């Protein structure tokens, strides 16, 4: 006996659905040996590129008479009046030695004089330098931060000036840097630099001006032996021949990042304050400052004294050791052969000489005694 069954629908008589059509389409494609592909989707129109922001325009130049605190003044070095009678010659000799050397270029870097100028001008560091470039011609090199795009950080690195009676410009920070720019080949008295205005005191009388400068500690009236002077004994312009040499100021410079680190809110004349304190603790007359080894011994004695003193010790002008940047660990905890102290005395014959080596090599080639008229003659290396 056979069972009955419902007759099957042929494919042609089956209900046609969207799913069925899709399956048929796929099967036909595969049967023909092709590759199944999805139907093309409409593409969205590309979004227009965001417009590039317009470069910041340099601010309109400010005249000294109109300057306010925080403004940037474009000046030439011969316009500036110092507010201290001394500098550390060996610090400047280091800069001049390095500026006149080709070691930086040989190491694949830009000569440090361009980095220093850019930093001082509020533009971070050098980006490119043309052949035969010089810092007195800003068209021959570029900086990483264009004029008009300065940041709070780059502005903080700039040197400072106070506008005095008669719109005279008194430099309150940067005597060493700007003297180096003035003395180096390719620099000079007409070299431009921008300075950050600390205050405009041009409306004060001369006596009130100097009284205010002393009250705010914007002038240093001590000579190279830490003896008091008057404002009439201050130099009238920048330049090595116009300053006296304070050896303790140089000594403190070489202890940087070994015995102390300048804090963000560094006091005016910070290095001189450390130098005043060190006069009673390190007798430089007992060292031969023409000998690298002897000079390094003096630097070590000074920097170790700085680190070893308790942080709450008053150093000078009511400032404590910690306020003046004392490093709790000498040479940042590294051995004497490493860290900043280890680098300091690397000979000038090496690929990367130390700061002290540059200074002593440059000083050894001076055609005149420090403090005498005449520019130092760059030595050949």
Residue 208, pLDDT above cutoff 70 = yes
Quote the percentage of the chain above a pLDDT of 70.
81
Bridge-based pairing state of the strands 192-200 and 319-320: unpaired
22 beta partners: none
Report the DSSP pairing between strands 72-76 and 192-200. Answer: antiparallel
Position 118 scores a pLDDT of: 98
Mean per-residue pLDDT for 171-186?
A: 97
Question: What is the average pLDDT across 131-160?
Answer: 97
User: Which residues contact residue 15 at a Cβ distance below 8 angstroms, ignoring those fewer than 6 apart?
Assistant: none
Give, to the nearest 10 degrees, the angle between helix 292-308 and helix 247-254.
Answer: 70
* pLDDT recorded at residue 264: 85
Instruction: Please count the other Cβ atoms lying within 10 Å of the Cβ belonging to residue 30.
Output: 11
Q: How confident is the model at residue 186 (pLDDT cuts 50, 70, 90)?
A: very high
Residue 200's DSSP bridge partners are 163
- b/e map of 111-122 (b: 16 or more CB within 10 Å)? bbbbbbbbbbbb
The pLDDT of residue 341: 98
Kindly state the average pLDDT of the residues 9-15: 38
Question: How far apart are alpha carbons 309 and 255 in whole angstroms?
Answer: 15
pLDDT of residue 268: 86
Residues 136 and 190 sit within 8 Å (Cβ to Cβ): yes
Cα→Cα distances 98→94, 104, 351, Å: 6, 8, 12
pLDDT at 45: 55
Report strand pairing: 169-173 vs 80-81: parallel
Q: Are 90 and 250 in contact (CB under 8 A)?
A: yes
pLDDT at 11 over 90: no
- Say what the pLDDT of residue 191 is: 98
Q: What is the dihedral of CA 24, 25, 27, 33, to 10 degrees?
A: 160
Q: What is the pLDDT of residues 87-137, one digit of tens each?
A: 999 999 999 999 999 999 999 999 999 999 999 999 999 999 999 999 999
Give the confidence band of 239 by pLDDT, cuts at 50, 70, 90: very high
pLDDT at residue 50 tops 90 = no
The DSSP call for residue 52 is P
* 80 pLDDT higher than 80: yes
Note the pLDDT of residue 55.
52
pLDDT of 184 over the 90 cut: yes
What integer best gives the mean pLDDT of the chain?
Answer: 87
CA dihedral 214, 216, 218, 219 (to 10 degrees): 10
242 exposure class (CB count in 10 Å sphere: 0-12, 13-18, 19+): middle
What's the pLDDT band for 367 if we cut at 50, 70, 90? Answer: confident
CB within 8 Å of 246: residues ≥ 6 apart: 86, 87, 88, 224, 272, 275
């Amino acid at each position: 006996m056979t069972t009955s069954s419902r007759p099957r629908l042929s494919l042609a008589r089956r209900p046609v659905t969207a799913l069925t059509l899709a399956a048929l389409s796929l099967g036909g494609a595969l049967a023909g040996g092709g590759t199944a592909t999805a139907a093309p989707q409409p593409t969205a129109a590309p979004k227009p590129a965001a417009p590039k922001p317009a470069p910041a325009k340099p601010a309109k130049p400010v005249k000294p008479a109109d300057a306010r605190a925080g403004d940037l003044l474009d000046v030439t070095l011969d316009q500036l009046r110092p507010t201290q009678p001394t500098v550390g010659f060996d610090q400047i000799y280091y800069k001049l030695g390095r500026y006149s050397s080709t070691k930086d270029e040989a190491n694949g870097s830009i000569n440090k004089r361009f980095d220093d100028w850019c930093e001082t001008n509020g533009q971070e560091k050098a980006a490119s330098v043309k052949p035969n470039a010089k810092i007195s011609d800003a068209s021959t090199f570029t900086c990483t931060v264009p004029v008009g795009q300065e940041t709070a950080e780059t502005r903080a690195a700039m040197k400072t000036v106070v506008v005095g009676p008669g719109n005279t410009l008194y430099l309150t920070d940067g005597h060493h840097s700007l003297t180096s720019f003035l003395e180096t080949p390719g620099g000079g008295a007409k070299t431009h630099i921008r300075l950050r205005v600390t205050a405009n005191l041009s409306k004060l009388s001369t006596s009130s001006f100097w009284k205010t400068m002393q009250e705010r500690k914007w002038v240093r009236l001590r000579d190279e032996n830490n003896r008091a002077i008057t404002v009439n004994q201050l130099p009238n312009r920048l330049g090595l021949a116009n300053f006296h040499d304070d050896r303790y100021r140089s000594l403190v410079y070489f202890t940087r990042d070994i015995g102390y680190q300048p804090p963000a809110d560094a006091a005016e004349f910070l290095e001189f304050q450390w130098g005043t304190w060190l006069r009673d603790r390190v007798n430089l007359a007992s060292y031969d400052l023409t000998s690298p080894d002897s000079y390094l011994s003096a630097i070590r004695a000074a920097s170790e004294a700085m680190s070893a003193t308790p942080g709450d010790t008053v150093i000078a002008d009511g400032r404590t050791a910690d306020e003046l940047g004392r490093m709790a660990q000498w040479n940042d905890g590294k051995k004497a052969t490493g860290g900043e102290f280890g680098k300091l005395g690397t000979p000038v014959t090496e690929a990367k000489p130390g700061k002290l080596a540059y200074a002593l090599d440059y000083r050894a080639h001076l055609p005149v005694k420090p403090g005498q008229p005449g520019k130092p003659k760059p030595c050949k290396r």
